[in-house]
Structure 1
């Protein structure tokens, strides 16, 4: 599927070494890379539909210090959607109150018909982008009914319910950022880890340094991070994702089409 990474801290820190380690995993996730940093309250998004270790653009980026309080990265193994730039993570979208949202996803949505209506609205054709558009609609509905912008806590509670529902029968390792809060969720064993230290909070699909204090992210809960600390934690749901033969066959069939398209282009 994919790998995801985020760094969350109360002060800007340089994260080049962790990112370099993260992107080295792209041999098994060759269908694109993405990087998001926050600068002056704006997302700086860079991404390409090529293997990270083969990207001159990414090499140039990493040759300079990557410094930030909130940094997100993604490497893609496509399971839904073509290998094109609009399908590379991160995805961004603004809600009706001009709050910018960002999402990266490791997983596949096998069963959630409510996302289908966003196929004609998204820029690419991934299930991950549809998740973000769906969340934005739910936030807009909530704030319209309230008649005012939501508080951080209200947004967390809203997303806790959405993520719990979305995780039924679907792999939903996901990171979301709304400009205030970083949301972290995993529902598959041994697929997301975190490290809390003096520098801040690191979360990644696999550890990105040799520190022995990496721990598995607690499954089936949504966590909210601010300034390197967990400030919100949802109740636990029951939707652990267990990879089965059905899921494997579905992904294999998609990858066959990806490989065939690649051969046709040569």
Structure 2
């Protein structure tokens, strides 16, 4: 599957060292890379459908300081969708009140038919992009009924309900940013860790430094971060994902199709 990373802080910090360590994991996640930073309240997104360690564009980016309060990164091991740029994370979409949402995902949606209607609307063909489109629809429905933009607390409540639904029978490690709040969720053991220090809040699929204070993200809860601190924490749902032989077979079959295509 994929690996995901985010940095959340109250002041802009340079994080090249962590990013370099993160992207070095791309030997096992060779199907694309992505990077999102916030600059002047706008996302700056770079991504390519190539192995991160082979990307000259990424080398050029990391040769200069990468500085930000909110930074997100992704390396892809494809489980759904072709190896093309529109399928690389992060994904970004605006709601009806022109709020931009960004999402990166580590996992696979095996069972959630409500996402199927977005196959004709998405730019690529991944379950991850469909998750974002589903979230946008739910936010729009709420705000239309309210007749006003949602508050931060209201958005966290909406996302809590969505994550609880989506996580049943699916691996759902998510990082989402709505311009105010960074949302973090994991429902599979040993697949997401965090480090809180004086620099800010780091979250990654595997610890990126030798610091002994890395801890596993608590399972089956949604967390909301602002300025390097947890502002919201949801109740725990019951949908821990445990990968079975059947799941592994589905993923292996998909990876085999990618290898066959590359050999044609």
Task: Give the shorter-chain TM-score range.
Answer: over 0.9
Deviation at 1:40, TM superposition (A): 0.3
Measured in 1, the distance between the counterparts of 2:94 and 2:135 equals: 11
Number of residues of Structure 1 aligned to a counterpart in Structure 2: 264
Match of 2:156, SS state, is helix
Give the structure 2 partner of residue 193 of structure 1.
193
Measured in 1, the distance between the counterparts of 2:232 and 2:17 equals: 29
Give the structure 2 partner of residue 167 of structure 1.
167
Deviation at 1:108, TM superposition (A): 0.1
Measured in 1, the distance between the counterparts of 2:58 and 2:260 equals: 27
Give the structure 2 partner of residue 6 of structure 1.
6
Measured in 2, the distance between the counterparts of 1:27 and 1:160 equals: 34
Measured in 2, the distance between the counterparts of 1:55 and 1:210 equals: 26
Give the structure 2 partner of residue 260 of structure 1.
260
Measured in 2, the distance between the counterparts of 1:222 and 1:261 equals: 38
Structure 1's unaligned 5+ residue stretches are none
Alpha-carbon deviations, 1:34-59, whole Å to 9, x = none? 00000000000000000000000000
Match of 1:219, SS state, is coil
Measured in 1, the distance between the counterparts of 2:22 and 2:254 equals: 25
Structure 1 residue 89 and structure 2 residue 89: aligned? yes
TM-score (ref. length: structure 1): 0.99
Moved beyond 6 Å, runs of 4+: none
Measured in 2, the distance between the counterparts of 1:72 and 1:57 equals: 17
Q: 1:1-266 residue pairs with structure 2 within 5 A?
A: 1-264=1-264
Structure 2's unaligned 5+ residue stretches are none
Match of 2:119, SS state, is helix
Cα-Cα RMSD? 0.3
Alpha-carbon deviations, 1:28-83, whole Å to 9, x = none? 00000000000000000000000000000000000000000000000000000000
Measured in 2, the distance between the counterparts of 1:151 and 1:91 equals: 22
Match of 1:50, SS state, is coil
Match of 2:78, SS state, is coil
Match of 1:120, SS state, is coil
